[in-house]
Amino acid sequence: MMTPQEKTAAEFYIRLALKEDVGDGDHTSLACVPETARGEAVLVAKEAGVLAGVEVAETVYRLVDPHIDFKALKHDGDRLAVGDRVWTVSGASRSILTAERLSLNYVQRMSGIATQTRRLVDMLAGTRTTLLDTRKTTPNNRVFEKMAVRIGGGSNHRFGLFDMILIKDNHIDFAGGVVEAVQAAEAYLKANGLKLPVEVEVRNEAELEAVLRHGGVQRIMLDNFTVPDLKKAVEKIGGRYETEASGGITEATLKDYASSGVDFISVGGLTHHVASLDLSLKAVHHI
């Protein structure tokens, strides 16, 4: 279920998407379909997967035409089999057609993300590791893509640049070193009266040792560590800080990385490299 903040953001971005897609009118539907025509259509799954985006699609239909009758037959998080009916919509035929592609764009992409997320979460069953997404999202679609990750059973990392201090390799290099970067972040937060969690990325044992000596963070990201090196690093941290593994982790190696006891694994591919789920809206009949 969308949070109030997500509902507000979703409606804002859907309005922008409708402006992009519809412009000054759906001229094909206006030309071909009588104004008085009414109909019904059903969304059918053509591929198995995890459903996500039903609430978003319903919002699309509501914004196109508040008189459209949208009936969800399946809900976000449900597993779909080929042939499953997902929702029906009835009302003005023009409105159904105008909302068709945008609603499908959202639900197909979100369902693809949720399906891949669920696959990886299932692989992590029996470990202590939580699967995270990243900021590698489609511009102006982050709220939908991160929502889909949660629907699939994963968890969200920071939403944007504003809700967390995440010191990465380039920050460290520009700051002159890992400790210098952490110290600068501490000073910045104090000077601006901000209370944000601080995470720092380390690339090797030397940087890890420097962070452990200095402190000042809540989480340490172990970037591109091998599985054996990750296990050693997690043991060295010893629960003093949250731990996150990132970089080059695939389905084939996911369980091995989780076996290190790391708290989190972040996978950018959840949102930037995923196939949409095949769903199709079909007209049922005229009313």
Cα–Cα distance for residue pair 5/13, rounded to 1 Å: 12
**186-204 residues labelled b (16+ CB within 10 A) or e (exposed):** beeeeeeeeebebbbbbbe
Instruction: Spot the catalytic one: 101, 203, 231, 255.
Output: 101
Amino acid at 102: L
Decide if 71 is catalytic: no
Q: What is the token pair recorded at 276?
A: 């949409």
145 labelled catalytic:
no
Single out the catalytic residue among 7, 135, 168, 232.
168
Question: For this structure, is 101 an active site residue?
Answer: yes
Cα 32–chain centre separation: 38
Pairing of strands 264-266, 242-246: parallel
Between CA 189 and CA 170 the distance in angstroms is 19
First to last CA, the chain: 32
Active site residue 168: yes
Buried b (16+ CB within 10 A) or exposed e, 259-282: ebebbbbbbbebbeebebbebebe
Classify each residue of 56-80 as buried b or exposed e, where b means 16 or more C-beta atoms within 10 Å of its C-beta.
bbbbbbebbbeebebebebebbbeb
Q: How far is CA 238 from CA 120, 178, 211, in A?
A: 26, 20, 13
Q: At what angle do helices 142-151 and 93-123 cross, to 10 degrees?
A: 50
Marked catalytic residue, from 100, 199, 201, 207:
201
119, 135, 136, 219: the active-site residue: 136
User: Residues with catalytic annotation?
Assistant: 101, 136, 168, 201, 223
